[in-house]
Amino acid sequence: MTSHPVLSQLRRCASATLCAASLAGCAVGPDFVKPESGLHEVALVPRADYADVAPTSDSDIPSRWWLLFNDAVLAELQLRAQADNLDLQMASERIEQSRAQLGIVSSQLRPSVAASGSHMREALSEHGKFAALGAPTSPSDFWQLGFDASWEIDLWGRARRAREGAAAALEATVYDREAARVALSAEVARTYLQLRGTQAQLDIARQNLTVAERTLRLAENRVRHGVATRFETSSAHAQWATIKAMVPELIQRRNTLMNTLALLLGEKPRALDVQLRETMPLPSLPTSVPVGVPSELARRRPDILRAEAQLHAATAAIGVAKADFYPRIGLRGRIGVEAFESGDLDSWDSRFFSVGPTVYLPIFQGGRLTQRLALNESRQKTAALAYRQTVLRAWHEVDNALDAWAAQQRQHADLSDSYEQNKQALHAAERGYQEGAADYLSVLTAQRNLLASQTGLNASATNAALTLVNLYKSLGGGWDPDALKTSSRVASGDSAEPSSDRAVAIASRVTSPAKANQ
């Protein structure tokens, strides 16, 4: 039995398509190779200059490191910030945009099919050349229905490299969101600790104001009894006024910090005043600080992973630029029916079709393709340098944070001793002044020294906590890379998924599921 000519033509096109697809296994351009970070050489211990400080531990860094402070209010603020912070929500939307871009680029690998239909009522001019040749000039209808399909065969991997680059860009956007999460958790903790330190300083000022008032009354009483001079009362009043002037500034700083926390939580001004106005002590520092192992630093810091993904995207772009030098081969087909009468559209004789290959070969582009390749190669080198710079910056941040943390512990111990000695000195000076064995200058000096030592001790305690926050920020704390990796494997169904599938799987964990492409 003789096959129908249309079917024979379709079989030949299908054979050509399968043959071309079998050749589409290679992709031009360099394959991405994960760079070596060299962070295994980092020493996650303080320098030998600092002895007798809290030891570090190579235990895993907790993703919610702020729980080490054992402060319920701080833990609640962190949870609210993770859920409601507007910068974090915008970063999530950028992930959705990157996922959509990946879907757009991936569509190049699939055939496109479209349906069309038209109806025209037309007539030829009675004075036209066709009428002169005998064509009828009466109006007629023309109906046409059909399907159009096209598919570019990705012989040189141009579309695959583009999809690889878009997938890497999506992965970079995911890590960008996680970097914002790390920065947010550190900023919430830093602002909260500064608030508690400011409240403690406000209490110190008020306590010293009480002492200054008591000393002022004593000096005025001695003047009334003729055993003191106006110098003592003037000095006592000046000391009282100086301390009193500190209170409004500290109140304003406290209010600003409460508003800063409200902004980080996506709340309006004064929304946290009721919760945070009450003075609470600074959280205690942990006795041992887990910092993990150096080799895991590149995996824990999302900015390093982001720089790696950006390098991957830049490498894939070179493949796209190189593929533009090669011919593009595709298939295009059309099938449908057409007739002058709508009732004839269901007739087999009304059919029409066209199918065949298409070839596009760039011959002269004025150097555009060459310069585009040079541009992408330069961008890849820039991305490689940016990766090295990110790793080097991470190394420095960790070392500086460890050094600052150890130094603050040593300083806090010395300031504690200074505070105790100044407190005893003030007590002795006040007693001697009351008994007439000492002049007021010694009391004034002791008050000023005590206020300075209290202020320094409080600042040291606050800075010690802040250095711990900076340490965990530099170590990449604030997100859970293990959970992200596990979720990506579950979502993809394979632990060794391609980079594009891995990017989609990672993004599916941190944002809502992707909508179906249309």
Q: Residue 376 and residue 318: Cα distance in Å, rounded?
A: 6
Using alpha carbons, select from 148, 154, 155 the residue that is nearest to residue 355.
Answer: 148
Cα dihedral 464, 470, 476, 477 sign: positive
Name the pLDDT band for 179 (thresholds 50, 70, 90): very high
Using alpha carbons, select from 295, 499, 298, 292 the residue that is nearest to residue 390.
Answer: 298
The answer to whether 386 and 370 have CB atoms below 8 angstroms apart is no
37-122+154-326+385-510 CATH:
1.20.1600.10
pLDDT of 494 strictly over 50: no
Calculate the alpha carbon distances from 399 to 41, 47, 406, 470 in Å.
Answer: 12, 9, 11, 11
Edge-to-edge strand ranges of the sheet holding 140-153: 112-122, 140-153, 328-339, 351-360
CA angle centred on 195, ends 190 and 196, rounded to 5°: 100
pLDDT of 489 strictly over 70: no
pTM assigned to the model: 0.83
Mean pLDDT in residue range 12-18: 49
Name the pLDDT band for 52 (thresholds 50, 70, 90): low
Q: State residue 259 phi and psi, 5-degree precision.
A: -70, -35
Q: Residue 501 and residue 508: Cα distance in Å, rounded?
A: 10
Which amino acid does the sequence have at 467?
Answer: T
Residue 254 has what pLDDT? 96
pLDDT of 299 strictly over 50: yes
Q: Residue 303 and residue 291: Cα distance in Å, rounded?
A: 18
289-290/56-57 β-pairing: parallel
Mean pLDDT in residue range 155-174: 95
Question: Helix (H, G, I), strand (E, B), or coil: what is residue 203?
Answer: helix
pLDDT in tens, 217-257: 877 887 777 776 787 788 888 888 988 999 999 999 999 99
- Domain spans in the chain, listed from the N-terminal domain onward: 37-122+154-326+385-510
Which amino acid does the sequence have at 390?
Answer: T
Q: Residue 368 and residue 373: Cα distance in Å, rounded?
A: 9
Between 230 and 3, whose confidence is greater? Answer: 230
